[in-house]
Amino acid sequence: MAGLCIGIAGAGLLGRLLAWRLARGGHRVTVFDPAAGPAPSFDGTGAAGFTAAGMLSPLAELDNATPALAAQGWRAIGLWQAVAQALDAPALMRRRGSLMLAHRGDLGAAQRVLARLETAPAGFPTPQALAPAALAELEPALQAANAWLLPQEGQIDTVATLEQLHRQVRGVGWRWGTRVADVSPGRLTLEGGEALAFDLAIDVRGAGARPALPVRGVRGETVWLRLAGHGLTRPVRLLHPRHRVYLVPRSADLLILGASEVESEDRSPVSLKSAVELMSAAHSVMPALAEARIERLDRNLRPALPDNEPRTELGDGLLRLNGLFRHGWLLAPALVEEALARAALVPALEAAA
């Protein structure tokens, strides 16, 4: 089915990925978003997709997700590779595995997480324990008594990917500064009352989709650290009894440190408590960070449904996708491909090997 007129509410992660896939499939697409333009504002408003660190960790996320979601995430990594190739920007993502670290006194907390990882679906690689010398060889910038390599996990440059998905799509109309008040079958109603008719209306407003969905925002905070020649080449997760902390090398001199998880829709600036906890935990495994410069403190809301699981609702003239919570980047291409296949809107994207 090609040539449909499709309206999308939300130009975040899902909105841009859907617009790109549907426009390439020959549909006429218009996207609506209250943001002033396509670039990130880094002020707590706009798409959570820009704030995300970009870990693609189906195995490590088994600590917070079901084996079925992990399997979807595993498939999605190959789909991201295919998207990056189609965008002619393979450097948007990397797949060198990730590391889990634990300090000597935190081995109990680490063993609880490792037990969760044993619920991985068949075919998943298993965590490989690394002695301190092996860790020093793999990532000389790190130090920890206990380390595990999770082979084939990945990472994606979230900001650059959202920019490319917007820049490289042809024939999509972007209506910035436009809030959608309601999404119903074949119709988007804008704030102010104007109602627009479409063959298909898509609701991907993330945390802004209430009251259509019982979605809530879960606050997350990140720190951008600038350190020339930091040397880290893969994402690192610190297994700590109180904090969930990870470091993602975005470029040769930039690291994204995240992330707090607070049951609150507060979009105000990053708290001292979160900043101190994140930075001291990161410094404890990467001493060179003492000289890093704090370039940005960012925060946003992860869109979550009551069961913390993603949800796809597909009916005549209406598609809603939401609840991607802390796994949005991990899951998005798999969820999008599944929804588009069910709606028979575009030919399937083949995952890269």
Nearer CB in complex with ligand FAD: 27/320: 320
User: Which of 46, 56, 61 has the alpha carbon at shortest distance from 13?
Assistant: 46
Which residues 170-199 are close enough to bind ligand FAD by CB under 6 A? 179-180
Asked if residue 148 binds ligand FAD (CB under 6 A), the reply is no
C-beta separation of 303 from 214 below 8 A: no
Tokens of 191: 């704030």
Q: Which stretch binds ligand FAD (CB under 6 A): 92-100, 136-144, 287-295, 323-331?
A: 323-331
Tokens of 154: 């990945």
Asked if residue 92 binds ligand FAD (CB under 6 A), the reply is no
**Rounded Cα–Cα distance for residues 45 and 59 (Å):** 30
Nearer CB in complex with ligand FAD: 132/225: 225
Pick the binder of ligand FAD from 6, 7, 13, 320 (CB under 6 A). 13
Which residues face 130 on adjacent strands? 147
Q: How far is the CB of 134 from ligand FAD (least distance, A)?
A: 25
User: Which of 150, 130, 154 has the alpha carbon at shortest distance from 140?
Assistant: 130
End-to-end CA distance of the chain: 28
Pick the binder of ligand FAD from 22, 48, 201, 336 (CB under 6 A). 48
**Rounded Cα–Cα distance for residues 145 and 68 (Å):** 32
The mark string for 15-44 relative to ligand FAD (x by CB under 6 A, - otherwise) is x----------------xxxx---------
Which residues 241-280 are close enough to bind ligand FAD by CB under 6 A? 258-259
Tokens of 248: 């993602």
Sequence-distant (≥ 6) Cβ neighbours of residue 46 within 8 angstroms: 12, 35, 40, 300
The mark string for 274-313 relative to ligand FAD (x by CB under 6 A, - otherwise) is --------------------------x-xx----------
Q: How far is the CB of 73 from ligand FAD (least distance, A)?
A: 8
Pick the binder of ligand FAD from 20, 124, 224, 329 (CB under 6 A). 329
Nearer CB in complex with ligand FAD: 35/349: 35
Tokens of 68: 């079925």
Which residues face 242 on adjacent strands? none
Pick the binder of ligand FAD from 330, 334, 340, 345 (CB under 6 A). 330
Asked if residue 46 binds ligand FAD (CB under 6 A), the reply is yes
Residue nearest to ligand FAD (CB): 12
C-beta separation of 237 from 60 below 8 A: yes
Pick the binder of ligand FAD from 19, 22, 23, 52 (CB under 6 A). 52
Q: How far is the CB of 234 from ligand FAD (least distance, A)?
A: 13
**Rounded Cα–Cα distance for residues 142 and 233 (Å):** 11
Pick the binder of ligand FAD from 6, 19, 55, 79 (CB under 6 A). 55
CA 258 to chain centre: 12
Asked if residue 220 binds ligand FAD (CB under 6 A), the reply is yes
226: alpha, beta or left? (left if phi > 0; alpha if psi -120 to 50): beta
C-beta separation of 288 from 227 below 8 A: yes
Which residue ranges make up the site for ligand FAD (CB under 6 A)?
A: 9-15, 32-35, 46-49, 51-55, 179-180, 204-206, 208, 220, 222, 258-259, 300, 302-303, 322, 324-330
